[in-house]
């Protein structure tokens, strides 16, 4: 099974980049399932239903998220629907709307367990331990017929992301980091067969500070006044990790970081 994971899609420029690039990419590379992190799809913060529909039309099959998931409250009702194709991090308290894992199926019947957890180092909130949360989910799926297990670890610190990658090595097919919006060059298959990249980066405005208008962010750092966020314009970058998984062993057998820039 071949999956493609697209980093945080940032605002309209990010959505436009996905619509322009993904349909051909999905076909040319024979991708079975496309997953994308949706937390910044609505004007850089949050996600709404029309964003989800727009990206499904471009070929995204399923969505993960992170700390911005609840910024647009209209998404809460959708998250309460157990079939809605969007996860919130699993390590929020149980009573929070939504789910942190789901089994999805490719058109040719391959089953992929997708897990979304959030880090605790330099992150807002006081969530449960992401390491133990994944353990719990994996225990629930012991003996289930799955062809792969994918983890989006939405976290700031590279150390926490590397540690979770090694912790889960050999037990899941892939651990890919999101949230920093900056891709790291450490993509590889770990010793036990788990595909890993500390951060896959974002898909959105290239000439920006992690997607936002650079002048406003610079002004914030110079003055320490409250940060105003506007989505930047100009060229767009598309960043994603393609992962090939052996359906029988569930181990990663190939991976390629894809980075494309368009006007
Ligand atoms: Fe993000
Ligand atoms: Fe985030």
Identify the nearest ligand to the CA of 202 by its number. 1
Task: Examine the pLDDT at 105 and tell me if it is beyond 90.
Answer: yes
CA of 143 from ligand 2 middle (Å) equals 33
CA of 156 from ligand 2 middle (Å) equals 8
pLDDT for res 125: 87
User: Over the stretch 1-36, which tens digit does the pLDDT of each residue have?
Assistant: 999 999 999 999 999 999 999 999 999 999 999 999
- Residue 154 known to be catalytic: no
Mean pLDDT, residues 221-243: 97
Residue 60, in any domain of the structure: yes
Supply the mean pLDDT for the chain: 98
Per-residue pLDDT band at 178 (split at 50, 70, 90)? very high
Residue 211, in any domain of the structure: no
CA of 40 from ligand 2 middle (Å) equals 8
Mean pLDDT, residues 133-145: 97
CA of 173 from ligand 1 middle (Å) equals 23
Residue 217, in any domain of the structure: no
Residue ranges with CB less than 5 Å from ion ligand 2 = 66-67, 179
User: Over the stretch 188-223, which tens digit does the pLDDT of each residue have?
Assistant: 999 999 999 999 999 999 999 999 999 999 999 999
Mean pLDDT, residues 63-91: 97
Mean pLDDT, residues 83-96: 97
The rounded distance, in Å, linking the Cα atoms of 62 and 42 is 16
Identify the nearest ligand to the CA of 67 by its number. 2
Identify the nearest ligand to the CA of 204 by its number. 1
Residue 212, in any domain of the structure: no
* Cβ–Cβ under 8 Å, residues 48 and 17: no
Catalytic residue among 43, 49, 68, 220: 68
pTM reported for the whole predicted model? 0.98
Number of domains into which the chain is organized: 1
Residue 227, in any domain of the structure: no
Q: Which domain holds residue 187?
A: 2-206+235-262
Percent with pLDDT over 90 in the chain: 99
Q: What is the CATH number of the domain that holds 67?
A: 3.60.21.10
CA of 41 from ligand 1 middle (Å) equals 9
Identify the nearest ligand to the CA of 123 by its number. 2
Is the model more confident about 257 or about 228?
A: 257
Residue 65, in any domain of the structure: yes
Task: Examine the pLDDT at 108 and tell me if it is beyond 90.
Answer: yes
pLDDT for res 169: 98
CA of 231 from ligand 1 middle (Å) equals 13
């Amino acid at each position: 099974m071949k999956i493609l994971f697209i980093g945080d899609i940032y605002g309209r420029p990010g959505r436009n980049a996905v619509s322009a690039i993904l349909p051909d990419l999905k076909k040319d590379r024979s991708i079975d399932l496309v997953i994308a992190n949706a937390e910044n799809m609505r004007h850089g913060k949050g996600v709404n239903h029309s964003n989800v529909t727009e990206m499904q039309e471009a070929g995204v099959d399923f969505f993960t998220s992170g700390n911005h998931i609840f910024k647009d409250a209209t998404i809460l009702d959708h998250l309460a629907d157990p079939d809605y194709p969007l996860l919130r991090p699993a390590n929020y308290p149980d009573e929070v709307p939504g789910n942190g894992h789901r089994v999805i199926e490719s058109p040719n019947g391959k089953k992929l367990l997708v897990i979304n957890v959030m880090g605790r180092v330099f992150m807002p909130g006081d969530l449960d331990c992401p390491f133990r949360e994944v353990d719990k989910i994996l225990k629930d799926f012991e003996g289930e017929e799955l062809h792969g297990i994918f983890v989006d670890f939405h976290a700031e610190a590279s150390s926490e992301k590397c540690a979770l990658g090694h912790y889960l090595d050999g037990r899941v097919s892939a651990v890919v980091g999101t949230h920093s919006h900056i891709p790291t060059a450490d993509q590889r298959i770990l010793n036990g067969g788990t595909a890993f990249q500390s951060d896959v980066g974002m898909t959105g405005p290239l000439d920006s500070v992690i997607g936002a208008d650079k002048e406003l962010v610079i002004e914030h750092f110079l003055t320490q006044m409250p940060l105003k966020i506007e989505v930047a314009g100009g060229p767009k970058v598309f960043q994603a990790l393609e992962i090939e998984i052996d359906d029988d062993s569930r181990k990663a057998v190939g991976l390629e970081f894809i980075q494309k820039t368009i006007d």
